């Protein structure tokens, strides 16, 4: 029997087009399962890039623990666009605008401003190759030569790497990011032997000392319209390689994310919108849902 009254609130949102499902698991003792994620992703109305599963606050998670699931059921350590959606979901419920969440990668402190924009402190980037992680001990992670198999275009044979809690490979390209067939080579790059935990693969075209355009093939989710942690990774690697300053506007089709890589504490602050689409409920164990 489907005891739907005991299903969890399901909210479909997006962060600049990054498709997010917020599942409110507070007050429950069960978990959103990878099987539920795969089933939800199989339906066109609930197909998503990430699930943000929000659990009760606990001693080390003042405003709640967040599990992040990719659409293939794998777990992610960071999700900037998804975090903004959780903030907006909670603000709509009780008007609160400051939050201190925890994920497996650490703290995610976020603030919602009067105009609806939301800032998330994504923490400091990590550049040490063994912590990203990369294999083959490439040493300097500013300019890494990709080992075979790679694309014939030289711009797709070297990258900069960073972790925002999750692994990112950023390829700086000279042309419009849409002029490359990222959908075609993204899967091979995501699973490349240099990325022992796979990687989020981004193409970045620097357009000024304070702006770049970005396109990302996400680990465990594929080509997405936006990726917040990739925007952070692209901004810090652009700054680190002297292509931009530490404040960068990262443009994706639906708009821009503002990234500020702070000098004083090395933290990366990402600011952008969140959009509510519809609300329903879901069985977090099976992925059965209704609006």
Ligand X SMILES: N[C@H](CCC[C@H](N)C(=O)O)C(=O)O
Residue ranges at the known binding site for substrate = 18, 50, 70, 80-81, 166, 200, 218-219, 228-229
Cβ closer to ligand X: 230 or 283?
230
Quick count: other Cβ atoms within 10 Å of Cβ 53?
25
With H, G, I as helix, E, B as strand and everything else as coil, classify residue 221.
Answer: coil
The answer to whether residue 79 is catalytic is: yes
CB of 122 to ligand X, least distance (A): 8
Q: Contact with ligand X (CB under 6 A): which of 49, 88, 126, 190?
A: 49
Span 178-217, contacts to ligand X by CB under 6 A: 200
Residue keyed to tokens 């329903």: 280
- 167-172/118-121 β-pairing: unpaired
Q: Contact with ligand X (CB under 6 A): which of 218, 234, 244, 252?
A: 218
Per CB under 6 A, the segment of 5-13, 70-78, 172-180, 261-269 that binds ligand X is 70-78
Query: What are the DSSP calls for 26-57, one per residue?
Result: TT-SS---HHHHHHHHTSTTT--SEEEEEE--
Q: Which residues contact 79 (CB under 8 A, 6 or more apart)?
A: 20, 50, 52, 68, 228, 229
From the candidates 23, 79, 134, 199, give the one annotated as an active-site residue.
79
Cβ closer to ligand X: 198 or 243?
198
The answer to whether residue 232 is catalytic is: no
Span 77-106, contacts to ligand X by CB under 6 A: 78-82
SS3 content of the chain, % helix, strand, coil (to 5): 20, 40, 40
Per CB under 6 A, the segment of 102-110, 127-135, 220-228, 281-289 that binds ligand X is 220-228
Nearest 5 degrees, angle CA 207-CA 121-CA 67? Answer: 110
Cβ closer to ligand X: 91 or 195?
195
**For the chain, first and last CA: distance in Å?**
19
Cβ closer to ligand X: 239 or 274?
274
From the candidates 227, 234, 250, 256, give the one annotated as an active-site residue.
227
Hey, which residues are catalytic here?
79, 227
């Amino acid at each position: 029997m489907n005891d739907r009254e005991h299903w969890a609130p399901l909210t479909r949102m997006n962060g600049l087009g990054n498709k997010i499902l917020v599942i409110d698991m507070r007050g429950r003792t069960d978990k959103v399962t990878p099987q539920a994620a795969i089933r939800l992703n199989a339906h066109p109305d609930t197909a998503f890039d990430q699930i943000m599963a929000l659990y009760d606050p606990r001693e080390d998670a003042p405003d709640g623990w967040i599990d992040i699931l990719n659409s293939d059921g794998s777990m992610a350590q960071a999700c900037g666009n998804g975090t903004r959606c959780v903030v907006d979901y909670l603000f709509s419920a009780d008007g609160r605008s400051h939050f201190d969440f925890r994920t497996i990668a650490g703290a995610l402190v976020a603030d919602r401003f009067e105009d609806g924009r939301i800032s998330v402190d994504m923490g400091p980037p990590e550049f040490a190759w063994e912590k990203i992680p990369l294999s083959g001990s490439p040493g300097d992670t500013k300019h890494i030569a990709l080992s075979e198999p790679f694309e014939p275009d030289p711009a797709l044979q070297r990258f900069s790497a960073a972790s925002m809690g999750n692994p990112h490979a950023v390829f700086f390209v000279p042309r419009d990011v849409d002029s490359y067939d990222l959908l075609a080579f993204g899967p091979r790059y995501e699973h490349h032997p240099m990325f022992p935990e796979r990687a989020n693969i981004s193409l970045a075209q620097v357009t000024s000392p304070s702006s770049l355009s970005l396109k990302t093939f996400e680990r465990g989710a594929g080509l997405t319209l936006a990726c917040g942690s990739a925007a952070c990774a692209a901004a810090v690697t652009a700054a680190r390689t002297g292509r931009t300053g530490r404040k960068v506007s990262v443009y994706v089709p639906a708009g821009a994310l503002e990234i500020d890589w702070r000098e004083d504490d090395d933290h990366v602050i990402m600011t952008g919108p969140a959009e509510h689409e519809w609300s329903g409920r879901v069985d977090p164990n099976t992925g059965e849902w209704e609006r």
